Structures are given as C-alpha cells and as structure tokens.
Structure 1
Amino acid sequence: MSKQPIKRITSIKEIAQLAGCSIATVSNTLNNKGRISQEVREKVLEICEKHGYVPNSAGRNLRRQTMETVGLLFYPSTSAIFRNIFYAEIMEALEATMESRGYDLLLSGFDSSVADQHTPRFIRQGKVDGIILLGGFPRSEVRKLLGFSLPLLHLDSYRERIKIDYITTDGYAACGQIVDHLVNLGHRRIVFMAHAHEDTNADQREAGFLAAVNRHDLPKTLNPSMRDFYRTDDGYERLKPLLLGKRPPTAVICVNDTLAVELLEKLKDDGFSIPRDLTIFGYNDDRHSRSSSPPISTVKVDKAGLGRIGAETIINRIQNPETSVSSVLLPVELVHRGSEAPPKA
C-alpha cells in the first residue's frame, strides 16, 4: 500500500488545530513574539516544517511597512557581477545569510554607464527595504541613491565623507606588508599598478604602498605608482619601457588578481620569465591567481566574511535605523606562491 503524501498546509488556523493552541500563539511563534513555552514553540515549528508551511509575508510586511527585500547594485552594470569571480564568491555568502534571516535579495538590470539610465525601478517603486552597493561606486552615484532615504551599505568599498555603513578589507596595511616582504627578499625597485577608475580601495592600497616606500627610504623615482591607464594593455605598454631600462623594476604589486594574471600572460608572451625576471603580487586570492602558471602571490580576502557581515549589517540598519554608522575593515593575510623570488643579482 502506497504511503499517502503529507498534506501541505497554507494557513495558521490549520497549524493551530494540529498544535492544539490558539491562532495567536502560532502567530507569535512565527514572528518570534510573546511568551511562548519552548515545548509549544518547537511543536508549532515542527508542524510547519512537516507540512511545508511558509508564512505569507505580505500581511506581516503591510503591518510592519517592510518588504523583507534588499536590492543589490553593482557598478557599472549589475549584469557584470556574473563575470566577476571575486564578487561571485561574496554573493554566495551574502545570499545565504539573507535567506537565513528571512530576506530576499533583488538584483536590478541597472546600468550606471548609460547616461540617461533611470534609477532602478525597485527603488522608485519602494520595493526594497535597503540597498547594497557592491564594489566601487563613484561618489556621485552614492549621493544620488542617498536621496531616496533608504538604508545603504557599501560592500567592499567606501566613499570618504559619505556617512553610510561600509565593509571592506584593510588594503592599506596589506600593501604595506607586501612592500616589507619584498624588501626583505632584497627588492629595491617596486612598481604599484592600478587602473585609473575612481576607486577608494585602490586609493588605500596605493597609499599603503607609498607609505611603505617612504618608510624603507626607497627612491620614489624607482618605486612609482602607475594609475594612468584604463585597460591592462595600456598599463603594460607603460610598464614595458621601465622593464627594458637600465634600472628596471624587480617587482610589481597589482591592485587585484585580475590585473596580475593579465600582466603575467603579457610578460610571458614577450619572453619574460616569472619570477626570475620579475616578481608579481596580486590582491584578492581569486581562483585565477591559484591556477595561473606560475601561481600568483596575493592577499587573501575573507570573501565569505564580507558577504555574511554585509548581510547582517544591512539587516541591522533596516531594523535599527538610528544606530551609529558601522565602518568595518576586515584583516587580510599574504599568500606566498610561485610568482615571487629574490631579485636577480
């Protein structure tokens, strides 16, 4: 005889009948309110799970004037997030934590690079309780979104003098540590490279590099920062004359692993041997940095931590809008791989 399927329940009245308690008790249990005994609470939740009951949030949201939904934007286009392995890993933890807290994450087809692009519809129509800005948003875009008076979180970046919650990594300290390590290996001619985009993370990593150069009394002319290019091809064309000069750099610190891997391939194509001719350091510990040949030394970032803390922070801001602004710098650690070596004698 075949086993009868468990009936799916769609109302708290049915839950109350099975649990032998009032509808109010079930409602308070599901909303984590009131004084409900542990025994009754566990019984109600067990019945809900057994019968596949999912609370209808529409009425609850109407009473609370919330949507239990957070919008996510990525600059310049949200669609680009699916091509970025670094942010894809952050997204996994972000989404999982939001789900565990009963919130949905809503992505928009917003494209900031289009001049006449309207603000995302989910913001204009009030469909979200807050917004996560993932990555390096220009200051003008952040200020524009502030005008909607919604809780904002800047995740993996921030903008100075704009008072919103942010979480990022300590790039200043990390790049200082890289310089310290390279100097200990014997390097005295080191280049920092980052794209020319407006990017506070790049600013902080560059500042950490320059401070360490000064701390070690390294000649600034032989330890430059290069941030005057938008494409990696152009950056490499700027670097190559230095490499062919009389006093070439012996190490390059890249603002991220994407730039490091792309430079590595161009250097190899031109006959350079890594790390014999040049040490390369990246940042982020992306999958590509581990699979490149040679694997690239880099800075390990707690991507899961960024996503998890980001979710907790925006939810806390939604539920407690008067709390003080949260500014979090996550610590990082250097990862040493095959792209580094002492300089040639």
Structure 2
Amino acid sequence: MTVTIKDIARMAGVSHTTVSRALNDSPLIHEETKRKIRAIAERLDYTPNYSAKSLVLARSYHIGLFFSTLSKGTSSNFFHETVKGVHSAVSSKYHLIVNAIDDYDGNFSPVTRKTFDGVIVMSQSDADESFIRYVADKSIPLVVLNRNAERISPVNVLADDRAGVFRVVEHMIAQGHRRIAIIEGKQSFKSSAARKDGYLQALGQYGVDTDPKLHVVGGYTLEGGYKAMKQLLRADPMPTAVFCSSDEMAVGAMKAIAEQGLSVPDDMSVAGFDDDVFSAFLSPALTTVKRPVETISRIGAEKLLADIERGAPSRETVYVETELVVRESVKPI
C-alpha cells in the first residue's frame, strides 16, 4: 500500500501542509517537528509523489542547469564538475535538467515558472545575456555561475580568475622569466578576458614588458593549444615561459614543444589553468591554477534553493578563491 502525506500527517497529529513543508525543510516549521515527521516518513518508507506535490504546491520540482553551449568550448571535466556540484545541493529534493542555451536558437518560451522552479546558468559568454535577462524578466529564481551579471541577475557566484592567473604569472616571474607568452581561451568567453587581465596585471606590476606577438588564441581546445604553441615557437626570440588559459591547451602546447625537439621545463616552462584531473599525471606534472568549479556550482545551487524556499531573491555576488598548484612544469631560468 502506498504511503501518502495524509498518512504521515495523521500519525504526527498535524496537517498535511505541515508535513509537506517539513519534508521540504521549510524554515516555517520548527526543527523538532521536522525531526518527528522525518522519522515517521522514514519508518513508513515514504517516497515523495512529485506529481502530486507539483499540483498542491504549484511547483514543477525541476531545476534547470543551463550551459552556454555543450558542443563548443565546454570540456568534459568542466561539465562534470558543474553537474556534480549542483547535484550535491539539489540531491533528491528536485529533478535536475541540463540544457544548452544555444540549442534554443533564441526562442526561450519553453522556459517558464511552470517548467522550472529555478534556473542556474553556467555562463561562459556575453551571448548568454539575452537568456539571463529573459529568465529574470519572467521572475524565475535565478543564479548565474562563472561570471558577474549583477546588473540583471540577483545572485552571481564565480571564481576570481584574474587573481589566480596573477599568482601563476607572478610565480613564473619569480623564477626569472621575463619573456612570458599567453595562449588565450575562446575570445567570446568572459573567462578568457579575466585571465588575460591577470596575466597583463602581473607583468605590469613587476615591470615586465609585454609583447603582443606573444599573445595567441587557442580557444580552450587541445588542438588550439597545439597550433598556438606552434606559432609561438616561430617567434624570435622565443618565449621562455608560456601561460595557457586552460590545462587542455597546455597539453597541446607541450606536444608542440616536444615535436620541436625541446623539453618542458628545461627549454620552456608551461603553466595552465583549471587543475584538470589529468594535470598531476602529466610528465612533467603541470603547474596550474585550481578553479573550484564544483564548489562554485554547489554554492550557487544552495543559494538558489534558499531563494526558492524563501520566496524572494537575495542579492549578492560571491567570489570563490582559486589556488596556485606548483608542480614540475615551471623551473628557474
């Protein structure tokens, strides 16, 4: 026999509304009452009926996680860390639905308050702005990850990319490098601009000249990093160190260096950004900046759920610190 909320309410001596709120961790219900109701639900092996809950509470119990794109410039590790972080907060309370904004071709009408209780945007480009504005205009609870869209989004959670790149380039300078190149990410991505800003800021603060010929674009792909490094190897004089705006591009760059008969780090130092799962297992192990994508995603999801429960948006922008991870691919000159 299927156990319902009314069965739990009868045993607990409360209304079915109280049971529903308690099982959804509402702040309106006293903690002792929540514990009592949860214990009864567990004892009866109660399974939520999401369809019934949707009708009673006018909720879909769907959270939408939207990436700018899933086919261009979104690495598998970035995707995995994002979904893992959001899912750890959403858990069994909501159904998580993952989509790509560019799949909608500008027609966002399927995204409504009836289809989604809240929306998380893992933003990678200014091209997301029309979608973010659409969600905000529809008064759908909203959190933007990975870039600051505070003009239109109430809550924004992102890594301090600029500070992270500043530290890794500062580390290269401390090792004696003065001719430091950069392989940039996808030009339309905000992260690319932030990382280049950190690179330029470090060079400027330490009085190191910047050479525009050492600024090349790799587009956040292995092949892009490889081709960009090939271009840098034709520079005269060549750089002694290269900062790659992603670990994937660093791998491509290291292959191009090896094909030239040079070695990392003896002939050229290389550093990356992201601290992907493979970075510690390269030879040499890659010096990089750890971007806490999972943490950013979890924090964003937690803030969205709190706003949904409260029924009103908070307003804040949260910067999550990055971490310099020093390994073997950068050495003194």
TM-score tier, shorter chain, comes to: 0.7 to 0.9
Displacement of 1:57 in angstroms is: 4.1
Q: Aligned partners of 2:27, 2:241: CA distance in 1, in Å? A: 59
Match of 2:116 in 1: 128
State the SS of the aligned residue for 2:164: helix
Task: Choose the corresponding residue for 1:289, options 279, 286, 298.
Answer: 279
Question: Partner letter of residue 168 of structure 1?
Answer: L
Displacement of 1:186 in angstroms is: 0.6
Question: Partner letter of residue 119 of structure 1?
Answer: F
Judged with a 3 Å threshold, the aligned counterparts in structure 2 of structure 1 residues 270 and 202 are, in CA distance, closer, same or farther, namely: same
Q: Aligned partners of 1:293, 1:307: CA distance in 2, in Å? A: 30
State the SS of the aligned residue for 1:328: strand
**C-alpha distance after superposition, 1:165-199 (max 9, x if no partner):** 22111111111111221111110110111134311
Match of 1:262 in 2: 252
Match of 1:106 in 2: 97
Match of 1:91 in 2: 83
On the 8 A contact 2:214/2:232 being kept in 1, the answer is no
Displacement of 1:130 in angstroms is: 2.0
Question: Partner letter of residue 103 of structure 1?
Answer: Y
On the 8 A contact 2:180/2:214 being kept in 1, the answer is yes
1:212 paired with 2:202, answer yes
Question: Partner letter of residue 85 of structure 2?
Answer: A
Question: Partner letter of residue 87 of structure 1?
Answer: F
On the 8 A contact 2:275/2:291 being kept in 1, the answer is yes
What percent identity do the matched residue pairs reach?
Answer: 27
Match of 2:159 in 1: 169
1:71 paired with 2:95, answer no
* Greater Cα offset, 224-233 or 260-269: 224-233
On the 8 A contact 1:159/1:200 being kept in 2, the answer is no
1:185 paired with 2:178, answer no
Judged with a 3 Å threshold, the aligned counterparts in structure 2 of structure 1 residues 249 and 37 are, in CA distance, closer, same or farther, namely: closer
Q: Aligned partners of 1:283, 1:56: CA distance in 2, in Å? A: 44
Match of 1:5 in 2: none
State the SS of the aligned residue for 1:86: helix
Task: Choose the corresponding residue for 1:197, options 160, 184, 187.
Answer: 187
Count of residues in Structure 1 that have an aligned counterpart in Structure 2: 328
State the SS of the aligned residue for 2:267: coil
State the SS of the aligned residue for 2:278: helix
Match of 1:309 in 2: 299
- TM-score, length-normalised on structure 2? 0.84
On the 8 A contact 1:191/1:253 being kept in 2, the answer is yes
**C-alpha distance after superposition, 1:17-45 (max 9, x if no partner):** 5x36344564564354766683x654432
Displacement of 1:161 in angstroms is: 4.7
* Greater Cα offset, 61-70 or 283-292: 61-70
Q: Aligned partners of 2:318, 2:20: CA distance in 1, in Å? A: 36
Q: Rg larger in 1 or in 2?
A: 1
Judged with a 3 Å threshold, the aligned counterparts in structure 2 of structure 1 residues 242 and 256 are, in CA distance, closer, same or farther, namely: closer
Question: Partner letter of residue 261 of structure 1?
Answer: V
1:253 paired with 2:243, answer yes
**C-alpha distance after superposition, 1:266-301 (max 9, x if no partner):** 222332201111111111111121222211101122
Judged with a 3 Å threshold, the aligned counterparts in structure 2 of structure 1 residues 170 and 262 are, in CA distance, closer, same or farther, namely: same
Match of 1:275 in 2: 265
Structure 2 gap segments, 5+ residues each: none
Displacement of 1:146 in angstroms is: 1.9
Task: Choose the corresponding residue for 1:146, options 110, 121, 133.
Answer: 133
Question: Partner letter of residue 130 of structure 1?
Answer: G
Task: Choose the corresponding residue for 1:45, options 25, 35, 38.
Answer: 38
- TM-score, length-normalised on structure 1? 0.82
